Amino acid sequence: MELNIDATNTKRILVLHGPNLNLLGTREPEVYGTLTLNAINEKLRERAKELGVDEIEFLQSNFEGALVEAIQNARGHYDFIILNAAALTHYSIALRDAISAIPVPVIEVHLSNIHRREEFRHKSVIAPVVMGQICGFGVDSYIAALEIATRKLQRDSK
Ligand code: DQA
């Protein structure tokens, strides 16, 4: 996909990965693919460079509180958050409240299509407070989120 994004004025993006995503590569490869988390981050870093993003930072945590704090601390430091909350997506009101508490826009991403999996994955408690959700495209869910965030920042700076 070529988006033809003007590389000026793009800004700082935080990518957050939730519980068990550190196991990507070996974790249920038939569902999540064979890319490791490092490989996903590297692809994002490369695409961010092409898009002229000034800063892209990554955090993976298996702890809800660490993710809540990262979201709280994003205020004033980042212009967009790309969040794969993993299992927390389906039940963490703490994460949802943290997203609601800050003005930084969040794009929810998932590698798998949560809507065609087990019923308990159909519900995202964060979906109502994020800008939008992208799921089912593997690493391209993250890449698409990055492209959309960049395009949005570009438009807003005009
Ligand atoms: C996931 C989907 C969640 O249901 C699951 O708990 C994950 C990964 C995904 O990226 O497809 O850990 O967020």
Contact present, 15 and 57 (Cβ < 8 Å): yes
Determine phi and psi for 11, rounding to 5 degrees: -130, -135
The pair of structure tokens assigned to 141 is 């869910």
C-alpha 61 chain-centroid distance: 13
For residue 129, the model assigns a pLDDT of: 98
| Mean pLDDT, rounded, of the chain | 93
DSSP summary character for residue 76: T
User: pLDDT tens-digit profile of 18-53?
Assistant: 999 999 998 889 889 899 999 999 999 999 999 999
Percentage with pLDDT > 90 across the chain: 85
**Given 17, 78, 90, 110, the catalytic residue:** 110
User: Is 142 an active-site residue?
Assistant: no
Q: Is the CB of 9 under 6 A from ligand 1?
A: no
Question: Is 115 close to ligand 1, i.e. is its CB under 6 Å away?
Answer: no
- Count of alpha carbons within 13 angstroms of residue 66, beta-carbon side: 11
Ligand 1 pocket member 45 (CB < 6 A): no
CA distances from 57 to 37, 45, 70, 77, 78 (A): 13, 9, 11, 11, 9
- Residue 79: is its pLDDT beyond 80? yes
Give the residue, 72 or 4, on which the prediction is more confident: 72
Q: What percent of the chain has pLDDT over 70?
A: 94
pLDDT digits (tens, 9 = 90+) for 109-122: 999 999 999 999 99
At 4, the pLDDT band (50, 70, 90 cuts) reads very low
- Our answer to whether residue 32 is catalytic in this structure is yes
* Average confidence (pLDDT) over 62-74: 98
